[in-house]
Amino acid sequence: MQMIESGNVAAAIGVKLSKAKVIAAYPITPQTPLTEKLSEFIESGEMEAEYVPVESEHSALAICIAATSAGARSFTATSANGLLYMHEQIQWAAGARLPLVMCVVNRGVGAPWTVWNDHQDSISQRDTGWIQIHANDHQQIIDTVIKSFALAEEMMIPVMVCYDGYLLSHTYMPFDVPESSLVDAFLPPFNPPYSLDPSRPANLNTVTLPDVRPDVRGDMALAYMEIRYLLHKDMLDAIPALSKIDERYQSVFGRGGNPLIEPYLCEDADYIAVSLGSLSYHLRDVVDDLRNEGIKAGVLSVHLYRPFPAQAVAEALCGCKGVVVFEKALSYGYQGTLSSDIKSALYNSTRDRRERPFVLNYILGLGGREIATRDLYDALRFSCTADDPCNEETRWIGLKL
């Protein structure tokens, strides 16, 4: 079935089809319509779940942590400062290996206050142990939500599904809604390897000492460092796991094929623009214009941001002359975070550093600043034609000082 709705509704339908049993929610723009739609599904009887309204985002994630620990498939969503307010619980959910799914409807963070889109909120949480996946349109939103439950529960690692506030959350576009029975076959009921049970009392995540030691039964128990190592290792294993889940999803629903990165005209490209989210689709129009001028340009969209698919990124980029990274977030005092990750991925991709493509970084669209197609065109064309495109620090598009 195809429908025309907002990105938030697409996400809500994905959660409903995934048969989440606990929804915890606190309103924050531009996420609010997503959890409101879920409350409507539950109130009308379309969705069999418990909806828990709470007094803060911190509590919303705490409810999901408790529900998942008890064996219930759980979901929440947030944006911007709401995500930052969850920070302590975000760390806890990852360390406790709880397979939550949370939609992050990307928005700039305060201070000063802004309600408009950029990526600084989810980027600020990139090192918390959550898998992060970016969706570019409504179809990817609904499909990614469903696949994320499968990935989270296979790897026992929580997943953030990120998509652009307003540009996707509130705009309307057509998308296909998967058949419920097919989703049930693809995503069976949540059956965790362990969960809290009154008939089998247990303590979870108690104080862990620095060294491996016997537990109360005399068995050797992992210490903090070993637990962190295993989370890191399993994060890396999530890369091939997502690829296999995507293959399975594609075989059932006929959609997918680019779970890690999504290339556009990259096969013969001399210059490749790289971005996260809907901006990568915006860049396709620019690349088409440059192609008409004889400049062989392409676009690479990074879907899986954490764990970073370094090998796939390097293989897609190492044959070109230049990489131009457009991003709506940065590491203050250094450069754009995606640009740093790409440079790291390319570092070992060739034996001779002279064969590596240059990497040029543009920061744009912070706090919802308009991103004009002409500005993207001028920046990318300059990067493709300048004699020495990397003779400056990170550049800013649309800055007015």
Q: pLDDT of 69-86, one tens digit each?
A: 999 999 999 999 999 999
pLDDT in tens, 234-261: 999 999 999 999 999 999 999 999 999 9
Q: Does residue 266 form part of some domain? A: yes
Q: Which domain-ending residue is among 186, 221, 243?
A: 186
Check: CB of residue 366 under 8 Å from CB of residue 328. yes
Does 268 lie in the same domain as 181?
A: no
Nearest CA to 318 among 365, 266, 276, 279? 266
Total domains, the chain:
2
Q: Does residue 299 form part of some domain? A: yes
Phi, psi of 362 (to 5 degrees): -120, 135
Nearest CA to 110 among 98, 118, 99, 100? 118
Query: Predicted confidence band at 213 (pLDDT cuts at 50, 70, 90)?
Result: confident
Q: Does residue 333 form part of some domain? A: yes
- In the chain, the percentage of residues whose pLDDT exceeds 90 is 88
Q: What is the pTM of this model?
A: 0.96
Task: Give the SS3 label for residue 284.
Answer: helix
Q: How far is CA 184 from CA 139, 150, 229, 286, 379, in A?
A: 19, 11, 33, 40, 46
Q: Does residue 231 form part of some domain? A: no
* Average pLDDT score over the chain: 95
We report the CATH number of the domain holding residue 37 as 3.40.50.970
Does 134 lie in the same domain as 18?
A: yes
User: Using the 8-state DSSP alphabet, how is residue 22 labeled?
Assistant: E
**33 CB burial (10 A radius; 0-12, 13-18, 19+):** buried
Does 106 lie in the same domain as 9?
A: yes
Show the tokens assigned to 342. 């790409």
Does 181 lie in the same domain as 267?
A: no
According to the model, what pLDDT value does residue 367 have? 97
Q: Which domain-ending residue is among 122, 155, 186?
A: 186
- Which residues are paired to 24 by β-bridges? 52
| Count of Cβ atoms closer than 10 Å to residue 52 Cβ | 18
The type of residue at 263 is P
Check: CB of residue 150 under 8 Å from CB of residue 15. no
Does 267 lie in the same domain as 182?
A: no
**233 CB burial (10 A radius; 0-12, 13-18, 19+):** exposed
pLDDT in tens, 305-326: 999 999 999 999 998 999 999 9
Show the tokens assigned to 189. 């009921």
Q: Does residue 165 form part of some domain? A: yes
Q: How far apart are CA 60 and CA 27, in angstroms?
A: 10
Average pLDDT, integer, range 174-199: 95
We report the CATH number of the domain holding residue 311 as 3.40.50.920
Show the tokens assigned to 103. 């939609």
Task: Give the SS3 label for residue 283.
Answer: helix
- Beta sheet of 304-306, edge-to-edge order: 50-53, 22-25, 74-78, 101-106, 159-164, 131-134, 304-306
> Per-residue pLDDT for 7 more than 90?
yes
Does 10 lie in the same domain as 158?
A: yes
Q: How far apart are CA 241 and CA 259, in angstroms?
A: 10
According to the model, what pLDDT value does residue 200 have? 85
According to the model, what pLDDT value does residue 243 have? 98
Does 145 lie in the same domain as 280?
A: no
Q: Does residue 222 form part of some domain? A: no
pLDDT in tens, 153-177: 999 999 999 999 999 999 999 999 9
**83 CB burial (10 A radius; 0-12, 13-18, 19+):** buried
Q: Does residue 137 form part of some domain? A: yes
User: Using the 8-state DSSP alphabet, how is residue 188 labeled?
Assistant: P
Phi, psi of 121 (to 5 degrees): -65, -55
Q: Which domain-ending residue is among 164, 186, 208?
A: 186
- Which residues are paired to 323 by β-bridges? 272, 359
Show the tokens assigned to 174. 């057509």
According to the model, what pLDDT value does residue 51 have? 98
> Per-residue pLDDT for 22 more than 70?
yes
According to the model, what pLDDT value does residue 214 have? 82
Does 273 lie in the same domain as 148?
A: no
Does 173 lie in the same domain as 78?
A: yes
Q: Does residue 219 form part of some domain? A: no
Show the tokens assigned to 234. 């399993």
Does 303 lie in the same domain as 155?
A: no
> Per-residue pLDDT for 351 more than 70?
no
According to the model, what pLDDT value does residue 209 have? 82
Does 119 lie in the same domain as 24?
A: yes
The type of residue at 139 is Q
Q: What is the CA radius of gyration of the chain?
A: 22
Does 279 lie in the same domain as 169?
A: no
Q: Which domain holds residue 372?
A: 262-396
